[in-house]
Amino acid sequence: MSATLGRALAPGADFGSGPPTGRTVCIEHTSANPTGPFHIGRVRNGIIGDTLARVLRAAGETVTTQYYVDDVGRQAAMITWIWSKPVEAWPPPIRAADPGATGPRLDGPRPDLDLGRPYPAVSAYLKEHPEAAEEVAELSRRLEAGDLPARHREFAEAILRGMLATLGRIGIRFDEFVWESSFLADGSVERVVQRLRAAPHATVLENGALAIDASGYGLPKEAPQIVVTRGDGTSLYVTRDVAYHLAKLGRFERVVDVLGQDHGLHARTLEALLTEVGAPKRPEFLIYQDITVPEGGRMSTRKGSAVYLDDLLDEAVVRARAEVAKRRSDVDLAELERIARGVANGAVRYHILRVAPEKAVAFRWEDALAFEGRSGPFVQYAHARAASILRKGERPDGPYEFRSADLSDPSSLALVRSLSLFPRTVAYAARTGHVHAVAGYAHALADEFNRFYERVPVLQEGPERESRIALVGATRTTLRRVLELLGVEPLESM
RNA sequence: GGGCGUGUAGCCUAGUCUGGAUAGGGCUCCGGGUUCCUAACCCGGCGGUCGGGGGUUCGAAUCCCCCCACGCCCGCCA
């Protein structure tokens, strides 16, 4: 007991953190194409990736997060294709999707909405209009040749800016952005192609396309070959991804990619190509399953089944505001708003994190907005209770002193036991990538504290008072730490 | 057809890597709890063929084999 409490209460120490490993690790996550706002399906990637980064940092790793921006593919080409035309010249079906558009609006509060709005219509239109599709294909070829149209990068950056603002609402930020075009510009894609040409299983197809015979890599039988350049010599996405990964593998000791299950085959293809070019090591993949709609199927912007993160967060704030207003007549509007946002964001982040990544999640509003039970607000509430006791005990930040003998009742012992589990939980999550274990631990600790709270009158005058305050101090610190790992705001009151 | 993933009470979920005793939680539902540190809480109750069948083992949700269901992927797209 003394050891656990001592570590949890040590001033300045990060209870639960491991010593620095000296190891550098790159976590690539999210990497959504800049084509429009995030829906909740896409953002599972970011929430898992961001949390993994926090957990690995706590475990002592030196973490760099990267967002890989695809600015040279067909999707990027579609955005530039449509916005390079005067709006009056847009095909009517696309025009109909964004009737208010007058031209590319880059300086609005939501450039991802402004520029991404016509995207689904463009996508649909191209399927039925080969001549337009050919224009986009031609543009795509230009992009890949390094011939970027005047405002191309501007469009991509604007949409990305809007998307990142949304992610920022739930605490997701990136250390670095890596643009796919940079690997074409610096010649590294070309070097990859050269190496693959000389690789053990290289073959040239009838039309001149370069491929790798993948039969030895255990890939599906129907995909015996990995094509790395088209007949016209241009590279494919996976080829450019090899260049990106060689750069990452050369710079970081560990490389982790957070990928949706639909990219599972891509991951194995990438591994095969990295082996072919003689890469010294390989990336680790953290694969998560989709968030589906209750009726089944993935979220789709075009089908109208997508739930946007911003809308979810807005609704969460509305509901949280009502909850806070119900019980806090003592706070002003600004404070009420601050608490509501913290609760709302905590609920949404926790809802995604509570489930193992390999489980598919059927999105339901009432689940995502739950503030009770196994939820973010449940843990936040326990933290707020602890903080409140410490304020009233006039020991918000210590110093804390305890005698083990004062904490020999079952509730205190159980709480200490729960606290002692924190370091190994962090270590486990870091080792396995099972960040949901941290969410589970957070709930278990909050649960144990709530029981303690119910049974032990901490501030009651008596010989145990100081020790009990110390135990609450240790719990508050640990709850704060675990909430930070989850990216959920540790509210001082709610 | 092949590959990958998932299947645990009405619903959601932990545990499966590393086999161990009555399979933990949450939601819903029912019944309690507030002169006392925030009731977004606590206590009790209802509810389980751990997808099915074989096998290994003293012992299987967990390991092996077969099958079933669901999801995703199997482009010179990304």
A118 to each of A99, A105, A113, A450, A471, how far by Cα in Å? 9, 13, 9, 50, 56
pLDDT tens-place string over residues A350-397:
999 999 999 999 999 999 999 999 999 999 999 999 999 999 998 888
Residue A166: its pLDDT value, please?
96
Q: Closest Cα partner for A225 from A241, A240, A207, A203?
A: A203
Residues 32-71 of chain A in contact with strand B via CB under 7 angstroms: 33, 70
Burial class (CB in 10 A: 0-12, 13-18, 19+), A357: buried
CB-CB contact of A471 with A415 (8 Å): yes
**A296 sits within 7 Å of strand B by its CB:** yes
What is the pLDDT of chain A when averaged over all its residues?
93
pLDDT tens-place string over residues A261-271:
999 999 999 99
In whole angstroms, what is the distance from residue A9 CA to residue A400 CA? 7
Query: Average pLDDT, stretch A425-437?
Result: 95
| pLDDT surpasses 70 at A221 | no
Estimate in Å the CA A38 to C1' B37 gap, whole number: 42
**A224 sits within 7 Å of strand B by its CB:** no
Estimate in Å the CA A402 to C1' B39 gap, whole number: 29
Estimate in Å the CA A220 to C1' B65 gap, whole number: 22
DSSP A92-153: HHHHHHSTT--S---SSS-HHHHHHTTHHHHHHHHHH-HHHHHHHHHHHHHHHTT---TTHH
pLDDT band at A423 (very low <50, low <70, confident <90, very high): very high
Residue A223: its pLDDT value, please?
63
Cis peptide before A294 (omega within 30 of 0): no
**A209 sits within 7 Å of strand B by its CB:** yes
In whole angstroms, what is the distance from residue A190 CA to residue A74 CA? 20
In whole angstroms, what is the distance from residue A426 CA to residue A219 CA? 34
Angle CA(A377)–CA(A379)–CA(A385) in degrees, nearest 5?
95
pLDDT band at A424 (very low <50, low <70, confident <90, very high): very high
Q: Which nucleotides of B are covered by protein (CB under 7 A)?
A: 1-7, 12-15, 17, 25-28, 33, 36-43, 70-78
| pLDDT surpasses 90 at A443 | yes
Residue A18: its pLDDT value, please?
87
Domains of chain A listed by start with CATH number: 2-17+307-486 (1.10.730.10), 24-292 (3.40.50.620)
Estimate in Å the CA A447 to C1' B31 gap, whole number: 22
Residue A304: its pLDDT value, please?
79
**Locus of tokens 């990859």:** A192
Residue A232: its pLDDT value, please?
87
Query: Average pLDDT, stretch A22-27?
Result: 96
User: Residues of chain A with pLDDT > 90: what percent?
Assistant: 82
Backbone angles phi, psi at A64, to 5 degrees: -120, 125
Query: Average pLDDT, stretch A8-30?
Result: 88
> Which H/E stretch holds residue A245?
helix A237-251
| pLDDT surpasses 80 at A296 | no
**A370 sits within 7 Å of strand B by its CB:** yes
Q: Closest Cα partner for A209 from A225, A238, A223, A230?
A: A230
| pLDDT surpasses 80 at A7 | yes
Q: Which nucleotide is nearest to A391 (CA to C1')?
A: B37
Amino acid at A320: A
Amino acid at A401: E
Residue A93: its pLDDT value, please?
94
Q: Which nucleotide is nearest to A468 (CA to C1')?
A: B37
| pLDDT surpasses 80 at A128 | yes
Estimate in Å the CA A133 to C1' B29 gap, whole number: 56
